[in-house]
Structure 1
Amino acid sequence: MQHNNHHAAHEKIHVLHLLGNAIVGGMENYVRSLLQALPANTFDITCLCPYESPITAELRRGACEVFVSPVDPDPTWQSVQTVVGIIRSRGIHLLHAHLPPAHRLAGLAGALARRPVLATIHGMSDPDSIGIQRLVGSHLAVICHAAYMEAVAWGVPREKLTLIRNGVDLQRFSPRPDGADFRRAVGIPPDAPLVGFVGRLSWEKGPDQFVRAAAIVHEARPDVHFALVGEGPMAAELQEQIAAQGLAGCVHLAGLWPDVAPVYPAFDVLAQTSRAEGMPLALLEGMACARPYAGMGVGGVLEIVRAGVTGLLAAPGDWHGLGRALLQLLADPDRACQMGQAARQHVAHEFSLQNTASQTAALYRRLVQAALPPLSRPGDTFFNNSRLTTIKQKETRS
């Protein structure tokens, strides 16, 4: 069988990941975990990030070549040239973009270099990403069934759409005896009931709703402590909210923990209060650590949580209902423990990182095999390596 592609079946596939952000967040952690899980004997990986950050350092420690170059909502011709230069100098077969600015940049560069483009939508489908897909003909990957159906409703052809759910590393995130180190570092008594939130302190994650639910629980159970693990633009506002509601002694802003695996075992209950969500990694990680869950049923959360079996759900925006759910779990530790064990089993069966990596690898192969051969223009020096030299100098100085 012959393919109209320059890529030989025995050749490793070289993928360029373009990240639209480089904070320590769900998308960035997803990319890092995925790259670690893809088989190194089958794939070579190069990354392009918009700026230096702890994520770029982590990627380099994983033996990934990382370029740093602007990834703006409206890509400049210079940034498109940069990506095309990377494609040609590194022998890239496929571009994988994360977040709309990276999708735009990858779409333009991929069209010029005749390379297939895959864009993962890390939340719910949005008009921005759908519009880019229509413009450049890229393939879309979505992380939950709700986002898949939204994309279909927006008019994305099913042959240009793949559902690949987020997965969690079941060895890294596993039940542990306790979370004493986290409690000690944050100043939480070892025997105090603890409700935890893990996520970016930003509006869409709803940390303010977590504090409101904490106030409801505190009225009935003043012995319960609460921890918000993460950083973000709402940190100062949350500090004021906590003080105004008289919760300074029991609600703790724990800051960013680069490794959250030891954090989840410290929680008696994991809470999630997002206003919008695709398939939250923090929820999968906590469930993999056998933590019972109470949260709001938004987006892909409804595809993860089995209500009454692995956790309890409140309606979106209903922090009163969430407060009641938390009180139920805190009042019945045996039931909470059973839910935690069921959560671990459910995640292990349905949401393993290995499943995610296997499905992604299969999609990579399919897209590369179906791609057109690249344009070959002998003597074409329009896209040269001068910008690559500048970028590499920048990263070696960091």
Structure 2
Amino acid sequence: DKSSKKVRILHIVQSAGGVDRYLRSLLKYLDSDDYENYLLASDDFDLEKYVGICDKTIQIKMFRNISLKDIPSLVKIRAEIIKTDPDIIYAHSSKAGALARLANIGIYKTCIYNPHGWSFNMRCNPYKRKIYVLIERLLAPLATKIVCISNMEKDSAKSNKVCQESQLEVIKNGIDLKHIPDKNCNEIMRRKLGFEKEQIIIGMVGRLSYQKGPDVFINSCKLVANEIPNCRFLIVGDGEDRQSIIQLAKKNGIADQLIITGWVENPLDYISTFDIACLFSRWEGFGLVLPEYMAMQKPIVATNVDAIPEIVQNKKNGLLVPVDNPIASAEAIIKLLKNERWRSVIVETARKEVLKEYDINRVAHEHQLLFEKVIKMP
């Protein structure tokens, strides 16, 4: 039975990782007096984490790649839409976006779609890219609104003629600033990881996959280690390229200086140990870890690609380097390490910016305005 005043939203989501963290922050800050949030998630999700921030959770099998295995998922999603009877369906990421919109055909529920980064902006062969663009164009009319997480994402949708411009809404990502650890965290974590006081920590947070450029990170680290021997290197994350990254570190002679944590519950605690924070993505719809670095007051070196320059302005609140360029990346890291005054100015600028621009409360508020708008639409 539907409460007369609450708006019921069915969130449909397939890929975990960054989307999972985004969704948990958003749900926590959506006003529970006005909204009833249901979550329909793939089995990549740990539903325990949604206790207390969701009114109901449902788990089904969903697959990342497109195949005939999607048919049972589609049937289940359709059944859940009918059973749940939401006011709004909110589909997160490309695969869930496709399944949710197809499942909603003939049910005519208001549907919002957030790709969390367009699949066609990935580095892939031109044929695959054209297919991704075509799929998005075909499915676009089935969404009432499409949420872009950066201005770059909106421009990209327009230049690829994905949908009508009136469908696009930009709601930039944000982070939960209440969860920034205190300064003591740094020393506790350094001890736990076995770092010595005088060692300099160069770190990155991200999936060990081609997109995030962990190979560029390792190649940069080798060059930094040649110049500044008391550096240590920390990768917070895991992924399909883990073994090849370990092999590359061995080949570069820095395997003994490198720690890979695997997936962790509290990435911010690990960021607290960084002296320099890196993100060498080859493509990036937003880069949620960047505001986290900024909030943790870590000097940033990141690639000048896609949405990253919207967050990191070169030489103002961080340094930008070309994609796939370990030499430029290492030079930027060394430059920051050698200039303490400049480093502290950059960090302070970034800290002020994150408080102003990237608070999850703003993201929740902008979503509430969007929900009100779509409910009033004919």
TM-score, with structure 1 as normaliser: 0.85
Question: What's the counterpart of residue 43 of structure 1?
Answer: 35
Higher RCO, 1 vs 2 (CA within 8 Å, ≥6 residues apart): 1
1:154 aligns with one of 160, 171, 178: 160
* 1:144-223 → structure 2 map (5 Å cutoff): 144-155=150-161, 156-173=163-180, 176-223=183-230
Residues 1:76 and 1:193: Cα distance change in structure 2 (over 3 Å):
closer
* 1:372-391 → structure 2 map (5 Å cutoff): none
Question: What's the counterpart of residue 372 of structure 2?
Answer: 365
Question: What's the counterpart of residue 307 of structure 1?
Answer: 314
Question: What's the counterpart of residue 92 of structure 2?
Answer: 98
Amino acid at match of 2:330: G
Residues 1:339 and 1:177: Cα distance change in structure 2 (over 3 Å):
farther
Structure 1 position 369, deviation (Å): 2.2
How far apart, CA to CA, are the structure 2 residues paired with 1:52 and 1:202?
17
Question: What's the counterpart of residue 378 of structure 1?
Answer: none
2:289 aligns with one of 268, 282, 287: 282
Amino acid at match of 1:59: Y
Please tell me the root mean square deviation across aligned C-alpha atoms, in Å. 2.0
2:74 aligns with one of 50, 68, 80: 80
Amino acid at match of 1:201: L
How far apart, CA to CA, are the structure 2 residues paired with 1:205 and 1:340?
23
How far apart, CA to CA, are the structure 2 residues paired with 1:218 and 1:204?
24
How far apart, CA to CA, are the structure 2 residues paired with 1:94 and 1:178?
41
Structure 1 position 138, deviation (Å): 4.3
Structure 1 position 311, deviation (Å): 0.8
Residues 303-322 of structure 1 show CA distances to partners (whole Å, capped at 9, x for unaligned) of: 00121121111111111101
Structure 1 position 78, deviation (Å): 3.8
Structure 1 position 270, deviation (Å): 0.7
| 8 Å contact kept, 1:103–1:132 | no
Structure 2 spans left out of the alignment, 5+ residues: 121-132
Amino acid at match of 1:16: L
* 1:95-134 → structure 2 map (5 Å cutoff): 95-124=89-118, 126=120, 127=133, 130-134=136-140
Say whether residues 1:57 and 2:48 are aligned partners. Answer: yes
Amino acid at match of 2:20: E
Residues 1:136 and 1:197: Cα distance change in structure 2 (over 3 Å):
same
More displaced, 260-269 or 228-237?
260-269
2:25 aligns with one of 2, 21, 33: 33
More displaced, 275-284 or 129-138?
129-138
Question: What's the counterpart of residue 61 of structure 2?
Answer: 70
How far apart, CA to CA, are the structure 2 residues paired with 1:128 and 1:192?
50
Residues 198-235 of structure 1 show CA distances to partners (whole Å, capped at 9, x for unaligned) of: 01111101111100110110110011111000011111
Structure 1 position 63, deviation (Å): 4.0
How far apart, CA to CA, are the structure 2 residues paired with 1:233 and 1:243?
18
Residues 1:52 and 1:311: Cα distance change in structure 2 (over 3 Å):
closer
Amino acid at match of 1:345: K
Structure 1 position 246, deviation (Å): 0.6
Residues 1:203 and 1:282: Cα distance change in structure 2 (over 3 Å):
same
Structure 1 position 135, deviation (Å): 5.2
Structure 1 position 258, deviation (Å): 0.8
Structure 1 position 77, deviation (Å): 4.6
How far apart, CA to CA, are the structure 2 residues paired with 1:221 and 1:195?
11
> Secondary structure at 2:51's aligned position in 1?
helix
| 8 Å contact kept, 1:18–1:97 | yes
Residues 148-189 of structure 1 show CA distances to partners (whole Å, capped at 9, x for unaligned) of: 011011222111111110001112126634512322232221
Amino acid at match of 2:375: V
Amino acid at match of 2:139: Q
How far apart, CA to CA, are the structure 2 residues paired with 1:323 and 1:76?
44
Structure 1 position 335, deviation (Å): 2.1
How far apart, CA to CA, are the structure 1 residues paired with 2:6 and 2:293?
35
> Secondary structure at 2:109's aligned position in 1?
coil
1:139 aligns with one of 139, 145, 159: 145
Aligned-pair identity (%): 23
| 8 Å contact kept, 1:124–1:146 | no
Amino acid at match of 1:180: E
1:344 aligns with one of 342, 351, 354: 351
Residues 1:180 and 1:256: Cα distance change in structure 2 (over 3 Å):
farther
| 8 Å contact kept, 1:144–1:278 | yes
| 8 Å contact kept, 2:220–2:329 | yes
How many residue pairs get matched?
361
> Secondary structure at 1:171's aligned position in 2?
helix
Structure 1 position 117, deviation (Å): 1.3
